[in-house]
């Protein structure tokens, strides 16, 4: 038995292999140099053509962007699936194709397709062989609010029942409730040794947030709301990006909206649009636009949550709700400034009044513009009752606390996955 922590948390070759520089070299070798050699041979290395050079350097830039994006986004919770990695690779190669086309640069389709295939295979294999390193190994001191953290499934937990690390095990970090009165002087000395040995020692609340993507609000204090203030600079940048993005996709979205409107009207009586008041930024109400997915007068008995298998939903409505096509008219809400592309989903006034009474600090989610998609939607799906809404608000608070470009990019990727799988639809 060893009473002091192991200073070397990971082996040297693990740290070398997973370093950014090493990964860039590997991706360049596999995704650029290898297909160049296979398709063009020695000729490319002697006197390359402009078509070959454009394709070669485009692939290198594309794969560096993929690598840096994944290394950043994988720090957020809920991104351990291979489908997330594959969707990121496909998105960047699509951007590369579009960029080469718009800039009117000559390029080799065969080279790009060959590189894409290798990049997908590398990402797919990297997911399976890298899972043992991507899942954090955490030593848990189970006191106070850290007592039940091992129930979270996104980590491998090792519960310490005494201030010692047994069997010379290696951990990525140690977690406990640093404010717990149960930490005796022996435990405090042990934690100090861990810190001196370069082992990260983190507070339970911080780790819980990073693993679940939620900010617990039942035990928050008013002075903690200061840590949830969104950046005013990024809020302005985000508003400009919203407008530009909506205008850019309108030529593609408008025909889809027109076809959807016709089908909705043909299937059941009533208009194509469903217009309803919702609560937005600053608690102000606005009129939200959606394609009608339910029968006419679906809320004649008052506002209510949609449920799984809801009989009010039409056949067309089931499809457009599953694929989120029913949300497309909200692009006009974005242009008007009522909404953003990404943010907490807006609720009806009657529900907001109810939740304010039942959920602590609920109204604080209105500090940012509501969104067409959001962190709670891609992590949880639709809320069906007050308990679900409690969890949804905790996701919303996480989004506000980590309000940033990278988190918005992550939500975009996860929204695409949600549209393809229908996750959370009712």
The proportion of the chain whose per-residue pLDDT surpasses 70, expressed as a percent, equals 83
CA distance 401 to 151: 24
For residue 175, give the H/E element and its range. strand 173-176
The proportion of the chain whose per-residue pLDDT surpasses 90, expressed as a percent, equals 31
Q: Among all chains, which residue has been given the structure tokens 């078509």?
A: 51
Does residue 148 surpass a pLDDT of 70? yes
Could you tell me the pLDDT band of residue 281, with boundaries at 50, 70 and 90? very high
> Which pLDDT value is given to residue 267?
85
Q: Cα–Cα distances in Å, from 305 out to 92, 141, 322, 397, 400? A: 37, 41, 16, 22, 25
What is the residue-wise DSSP string for 258-270? Answer: HHHHHHHHHHSSS
Does residue 280 surpass a pLDDT of 70? yes
> Which pLDDT value is given to residue 40?
92
Least confident of 19-28, 48-57, 129-138, 338-347: 129-138
Give the start-end residues of each E strand in 280-388: 285-291, 340-342, 371-373
Does residue 2 surpass a pLDDT of 50? no
Tokens in use for 65? 């962007």
- HSE, side-chain direction, 13 A CA sphere, residue 339: 29
Predicted TM-score (pTM) above 0.85:
no
């Amino acid at each position: 038995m060893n009473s002091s922590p192991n200073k070397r948390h990971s082996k040297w070759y693990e740290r070398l292999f997973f370093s950014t520089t090493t990964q860039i070299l590997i991706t360049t070798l596999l995704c650029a140099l290898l297909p160049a050699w296979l398709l063009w041979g020695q000729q490319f290395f002697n006197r390359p053509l402009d078509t070959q050079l454009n394709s070669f350097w485009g692939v290198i830039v594309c794969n560096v962007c993929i690598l840096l994006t994944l290394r950043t986004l994988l720090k957020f919770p809920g991104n351990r699936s291979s489908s997330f990695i594959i969707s990121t690779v496909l998105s960047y190669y699509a951007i590369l194709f579009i960029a080469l086309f718009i800039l009117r640069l000559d390029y080799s389709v065969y080279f790009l397709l060959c590189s894409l295939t290798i990049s997908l295979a590398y990402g797919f294999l990297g997911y399976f062989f890298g899972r043992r390193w991507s899942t954090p190994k955490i030593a848990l001191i189970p006191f106070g609010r850290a007592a039940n953290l091992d129930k979270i499934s996104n980590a491998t937990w090792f519960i310490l029942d005494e201030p010692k690390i047994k069997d010379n095990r290696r951990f990525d970090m140690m977690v406990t409730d640093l404010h717990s009165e149960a930490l005796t002087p022996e435990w405090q000395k042990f934690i100090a040794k861990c810190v001196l040995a370069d082992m990260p020692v983190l507070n339970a609340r911080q780790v819980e947030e990073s693993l679940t993507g939620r900010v617990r609000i039942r035990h928050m204090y008013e002075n903690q709301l200061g840590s949830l203030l969104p950046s005013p600079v990024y809020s302005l940048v985000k508003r400009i990006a919203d407008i530009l993005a909506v205008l850019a996709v309108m030529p593609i979205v408008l025909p889809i909206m027109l076809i959807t409107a016709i089908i909705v009207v043909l299937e059941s009586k009533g208009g194509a649009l469903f217009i309803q008041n919702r609560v937005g930024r600053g608690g102000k109400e606005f009129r939200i636009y959606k394609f009608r997915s339910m029968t006419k007068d679906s809320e004649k008995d008052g506002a209510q949550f949609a449920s799984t298998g809801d009989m009010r939903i039409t056949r067309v409505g089931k499809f457009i709700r599953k694929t989120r096509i029913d949300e497309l008219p909200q692009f006009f809400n974005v242009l008007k400034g009522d909404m953003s592309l990404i943010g907490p989903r807006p609720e009806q006034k009657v529900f907001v009044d109810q939740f304010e009474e039942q959920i602590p600090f609920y109204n604080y989610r209105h500090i940012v513009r509501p969104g067409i998609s959001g962190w709670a939607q891609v992590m949880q799906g639709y809320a069906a009752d007050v308990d679900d809404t409690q969890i949804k608000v905790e996701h919303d608070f996480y989004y506000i606390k980590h309000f940033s470009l990278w988190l918005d990019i992550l939500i975009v990727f996860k929204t695409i996955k949600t549209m393809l799988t229908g996750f959370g639809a009712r």
